[in-house]
Amino acid sequence: MQPSADISQLTETTPVIPEPSKTSEARSARVVLPEAEAESDDEPLEEASIEEVGEEGDFLEDFPDDTEDLELVHVRIGSLANMRLPRFAGHLKRMCLRQNFISYLDPEVFHLLTKLEELDFYDNKLKTVDDALDRLINLGVLDMSFNLLKAVPDGLKYLTSLHTVYFVQNRISKITGLEMSTKLRSLELGGNRIRKIENLDALVNLEELWLGKNKITTLENLSTLKKLKILSLQSNRITKLENLEALEDLEQLYLSHNGITRIEGLECNVKLTTFDVGNNFIPAIENISHLTFLEELWMNGNQIPDLQGLEPQLGKLSTLETLYLEANPCQAKDMTGYRRKIMLALPQLKQIDATYVRVS
């Protein structure tokens, strides 16, 4: 999911001051607003009432040309036109423009910022980027989450250094534009409108794939992702565990809030440490006993009627520390003895549901 950000703010009357440089450190510039003047996070700004920063003059004029890190978060930026970004082209490596109102990226500007390694447009108003990013050959991390994109920008195929991409909560309906992204290690497309896992064959170095909260019905087209360690498809429409045979290095599998009716198809996924199938329609604990590295098992909110499968399936899993089984019929039938029976069957557990096991 998204890395945490140190959010900074300003008002039009707040002076913008570059951070003092040190000979051994990169030049860094941040725009800061005193906390007392910041807008409340509980009351989002109305776009129509906002006086956009950047429309009148260059408010970055005090920043030195050799700035390497530019962070302009939640500062009402609606346009980049008058910010004279090309003057930073020789040194700028990281630019964070989170929580603004940017709707257009000028290719003439971004084609010059070829030293950029990280670019963050989280929570803006972008509907398209056209060819603005095509020449950012050193870009490694791109975050365009919480925008209005209907497709993955086609220009990503030119970004040969790209290894981490976030497109959370856009309007993307189909996975495209990644055919040349062979160095990609992490891809986040959660919260979109995707119905099918496809066009990922070239991502042979991918280690993390996040596709939660889409409309995907089938686990498919994953066979070339042999380095995958994390696969997340929570809150989709999957009904069957299948086509995971090639993912022998898979360590974390998240499939909660789907329509899965049986645990199966995990014969080759012996490196799993976390397996989450909570809130599905699974009636039995089965086909897990071979997962000898398993540390966390989430099966809460299913249809498991009793605890008979616990010891046969999980008893020999010495690494298992956390088990979630709450909100199953087996708990409702025996509210007083449920927890004690689990502890007796699986003495290796350190946590049952949300409560730690007391060591006597």
CA distances from 330 to 9, 28, 194, 323, 351 (A): 51, 57, 35, 14, 18
85: its two tokens = 């970004």
User: Residues of the chain whose pLDDT is less than 70?
Assistant: 1-57, 360
Three-class SS state of 311: helix
Would you say the pTM of this structure is higher than 0.85? yes
Domain 1-216: which CATH number of 1.10.357.10, 3.80.10.10, 1.10.10.10, 3.40.1050.10: 3.80.10.10
At CA 139, angle to CA 133 and CA 144, rounded to 5?
Answer: 60
Indicate if 228-360 has the same CATH topology as 1-216.
yes
61: its two tokens = 């004029």
- The whole-number pLDDT of residue 359 equals 79
- The whole-number pLDDT of residue 82 equals 87
- The whole-number pLDDT of residue 24 equals 37
Q: Tens of pLDDT along 257-286? A: 999 999 999 999 999 999 999 999 999 999
27: its two tokens = 């030049």
- The whole-number pLDDT of residue 21 equals 41
Distance CA 125, CA 140 (A): 22
- The whole-number pLDDT of residue 28 equals 66
Taking alpha carbons only, the member of 193, 239, 184, 182 closest to residue 215 is 193
Taking alpha carbons only, the member of 152, 139, 128 closest to residue 183 is 139
| Architecture of the domain delimited by 228-360 | Alpha-Beta Horseshoe (3.80)
Sequence ranges of the domains in the chain: 1-216, 228-360
Distance CA 247, CA 250 (A): 5
- The whole-number pLDDT of residue 62 equals 87
Beta strands 252-254; 322-324: pairing state: unpaired
- The whole-number pLDDT of residue 360 equals 67
In this structure, are residues 61 and 37 in contact, taking their beta carbons and an 8 Å threshold?
Answer: no
- The whole-number pLDDT of residue 3 equals 37
